[in-house]
Structure 1
Amino acid sequence: MECLLGLLKVRVVRGLNLAICDPLTHSSDPYVVLRHGSQKVKSSIRYHSINPEWNEELTLSITNMMLPVKIEVFDKDTFTKDDSMGDAEFGILDFIEIAKQELSHIGDGAVMKTIHPEEENCFATESQITWKDGKVSQDIVLKLRNTETGEIILHLQWVNIPGVAR
């Protein structure tokens, strides 16, 4: 049995300039799927939008901080298989290592680490891991792969589990 490290709350904020999968309406019906290991969580569908706003919180139980979180965006179809609108992934190692530290002495709003877009990650802009309101959080903009266009904006927050060692 794997040891639970904590919970990763992922707020799927919005999509930007997603692919048009329904040419007749010049839109799509997107939803987001997050995967970590064998876990899979899914957002609701936003109909007729290529710039959807979800502001939905999805939670992943983290047992292996070496595994990335994988994201897929799909266009919901009624009579055929849902269309892929792109994918991305991001590592959580730095985020969790910071979250596991004793940070009560750190000033509110402190930037703990800045992650820059690189060839090996899907970050569209630099992203800061911060300590705010007693929580470790991170805002991320990911550029979707395997598609012509699109970005996904996420907000991460770590939740320690009482009784689980830091």
Structure 2
Amino acid sequence: MEDLLGLLRIRVKRGINLVVRDTVSSDPYVVITMGHQKLKTGVVKNNCNPVWNDVLTLSIKDVHTPILLTVYDKDTFTEDDKMGDATIDMKPYIDCMRMGLENLPNGTKVERVQPNRNNCLSDESCVIWNDGKMFQDMCLRLRNVKQGEVEVQLEWVDLPGHKAFHSKSVYAPY
């Protein structure tokens, strides 16, 4: 556990305009994969605009390990159908955490991240200071599919007894 930097909470909020994989709808769920870790949300029945609001927590040992979000349609008798995927780019969030900011007014926008070809953002994403913590809300455009987006929120959790995450000696820069 000494090599563990902290925890990353990913709140998988909702899906928007997901593709239909069954006759008229889908039964979507999300899988978050990072290295050997694999976490999933609950299934929302018959809904292409599901609200999950599930919190999935990853143990972070290396901030450079990619995070993959994949949406599936739950099927009973056949293999679950893929409904698209996206990568979660946590670099801007980590860069804000490295600033070591404290005591900012609630709602302060620390960073604005624009969609580009290197991320899966469908709209501007902001890293915001609230209640003594930084959060990043993002709307991810799903790849390998005609349509669909997933809204998520990132939140870092420092581990008691470990060096503070924003300590520059904890990890190498990008």
Whether the TM-score (by the shorter chain) exceeds 0.5 is yes
In the TM superposition, what is the alpha-carbon distance from 1:100 to its structure 2 partner? Answer: 4.2
> 8 Å contact 1:21–1:75 — kept in the other structure?
yes
Who is 1:60 aligned against? 58
Seen in structure 2, the aligned counterparts of structure 1 residues 11 and 53 have a Cα distance that, compared at 3 Å, is same
Q: For the Cα contact (< 8 Å) 2:136–2:154, is it kept in 1?
A: yes
Residue by residue over 1:25-51, the C-alpha shift from the partner in whole angstroms, topping out at 9 and shown as x without a partner, is: x10000000011111100000010000
Q: Which residue number in structure 1 is paired with residue 101 of structure 2? A: 103
Segments of 4+ moved more than 6 angstroms = none
Q: Provide the residue aligned with 2:11 in structure 1.
A: 11
Q: Distance in 1 between matches of 2:118 and 2:2?
A: 28
TM value normalised by structure 1: 0.93
Q: Is the 8 A contact 1:2 1:63 kept in 2?
A: no
Q: Secondary structure at the match of 1:94?
A: helix
Alignment coverage as a number of residue pairs = 164
Query: Aligned residue for 1:164?
Result: 162
- Residues of 1 paired with 2:105 and 2:90: CA distance? 23
Query: 2:148 is matched with which residue?
Result: 150
Residue number in structure 1 paired with 2:32 = 34
Answer whether contact 2:44 2:52 (CA < 8 A) is retained: yes
* Structure 2, unpaired ranges of 5+: 165-174
Report the TM-score when normalising by structure 2.
0.89
**Aligned-partner residue type, residue 134 of structure 2:** V
d(CA) in 2 for partners of 1:110 and 1:92?
19
Q: Pairwise mapping of residues 58-137 of structure 1 onto structure 2 (< 5 A)?
A: 58-137=56-135
Instruction: Deviation per CA, 1:76-131: give whole Å up to 9, x if none.
Output: 01111100000000221221232244322333221111110001110000100111
**1:67–1:92 CA contact under 8 A, matched in 2:** no
Q: Cα RMSD (Å) of the superposition?
A: 1.4
Letter in 2 for 1:145: R
Q: Would the aligned equivalents of 2:70 and 2:86 in 1 still touch at CA under 8 Å?
A: yes
Work out the CA distance in 1 between the residues paired with 2:163 and 2:2.
14
